Structure 1
Amino acid sequence: MNQILNQTALENSHSVPDVRPPTRGSGDRVAFIQACWHKEIVDQCRIAFMEEAERLGLQPASIDVFETPGSFEIPLQAKTLAGSGRYAAIVAAGLIVDGGVYRHEFVADAVISALMRLQMEVCVPVISAVLTPQRFHDHEDHRRFFRDHFLIKGREAAQACMRTIDNIAAARKAA
């Protein structure tokens, strides 16, 4: 099935590196934005993110979850949240699939480019778990595969988020 899905990297990503929990500041808040297209799949990213973030020392009450209709709406939600000054980081999760037309590539590029520009403009890290598989067919095998894959991506996003928050805090201290 991996050849069909062209997702051979998944085989190597099952071992999530152990990250030592840092001492968390009480002011660290994270916004988690989740697109609702294929919600039952993307939910797995949020679930794994929450579990891993807690393991790394961030209390669940410090994570605010927001839903958008689809991935295309994530950048505006992220910009609004980043502008609030309330969040140390923002995490975005979504699944952009090829529905038989080429526009999914344009949507993916627009979303990822906007998230990158946003974090550079406002200096709030934006961690992306917005995925665009080469092939997705809406049947149980693919849904199961991507539910499992989003569990991995959720853990990875939590690790990247916490490490980035720590790196930025250290850099600001050193400046």
Structure 2
Amino acid sequence: MNKSNAALTNPIDKLRIAVVSASWHRDIVERAHEGITAELSRQGLDVAATLTHISVAGAFEIPLHAQILAESCAFDAVIACALIVNGGIYRHEFVTSAVIDGLMRVQLDSGVPVLSAVLTPRDFHDHEEHRSFFAAHFVKKGEEVASACLAAVRSLRQLRTFMR
């Protein structure tokens, strides 16, 4: 088997993923980590060896942490998790734009995939029905972002192998 074929047969060897989560609404946002962990386990990865989890104050702090992690060369991908809610003012839209734009910039500048489970629901009210709904939703989003992360790492590894 040549080098190119070896890279394609197991393109997630020694995978390292950093997960950066905002502390605001921690009880909901941390559910994404459950989904990420579950999906990586389903894909046969050793979660303890694969994931590094970092908690930051809020969503606004995520891009800088993602940049430092991406530039460290220690991680194959970074996943951002946050819940940015409308508190009755338009500030949430500015925070959302800043975070998403920052994550994209980190990804493009570093060449490291940066994936987002930063959710900005149109309507979130701090009562049990919404808290339960969004907690379950974050589990699903965690599974989806983990799956997208693996696909991104695989395709980039394949692309980089062909470019050597």
User: 1 CA distance for matches of 2:16 and 2:125?
Assistant: 36
Deviation at 1:56, TM superposition (A): 1.2
Task: Please tell me the residue identity of whatever aligns with 1:96.
Answer: I
Deviation at 1:54, TM superposition (A): 1.7
If the length of structure 2 is used for normalisation, what is the TM-score? 0.91
Alignment match of 1:129 (pick from 108, 113, 117): 117
Deviation at 1:59, TM superposition (A): 1.3
Assess if the C-alpha contact under 8 Å between 1:30 and 1:64 holds in 2.
yes
Deviation at 1:24, TM superposition (A): 5.3
Deviation at 1:123, TM superposition (A): 0.1
Alignment pair present for 1:95 and 2:83: yes
If the length of structure 1 is used for normalisation, what is the TM-score? 0.85
Identity of aligned residues (%): 45
Correspondence 1:25-40 to 2 at 5 A = 25-40=12-27
Alignment match of 2:58 (pick from 51, 70, 86): 70
Task: Please tell me the residue identity of whatever aligns with 1:36.
Answer: S
Runs of 4+ in 1 over 2 A off after TM superposition: 22-27
SS of the residue 2:19 aligns to: strand
Task: Please tell me the residue identity of whatever aligns with 1:51.
Answer: A
Q: 5+ unaligned residues in a row in structure 2: which ranges?
A: 1-8
Alignment pair present for 1:47 and 2:27: no
Distance 1:92 1:73, change over 3 A: same
Deviation at 1:31, TM superposition (A): 0.3
User: 1 CA distance for matches of 2:30 and 2:52?
Assistant: 14
Aligned residues: CA RMSD: 1.1
Alignment match of 1:108 (pick from 96, 108, 125): 96
Assess if the C-alpha contact under 8 Å between 2:21 and 2:54 holds in 1.
yes
Deviation at 1:63, TM superposition (A): 0.5
Deviation at 1:27, TM superposition (A): 2.3
Q: Find the counterpart in structure 2 of residue 17 from structure 1.
A: none
SS of the residue 2:24 aligns to: coil
- Aligned pairs, how many? 154
Q: 5+ unaligned residues in a row in structure 1: which ranges?
A: 1-21
Render the CA deviation track for 1:133-165: whole Å, top value 9, x for unaligned.
001000001001100110110000010000000
User: 2 CA distance for matches of 1:112 and 1:153?
Assistant: 16
Alignment pair present for 1:56 and 2:43: yes
Assess if the C-alpha contact under 8 Å between 1:24 and 1:57 holds in 2.
no
Assess if the C-alpha contact under 8 Å between 2:12 and 2:154 holds in 1.
no
Alignment match of 1:158 (pick from 146, 161, 164): 146
Deviation at 1:101, TM superposition (A): 1.0
Q: Find the counterpart in structure 2 of residue 174 from structure 1.
A: 162
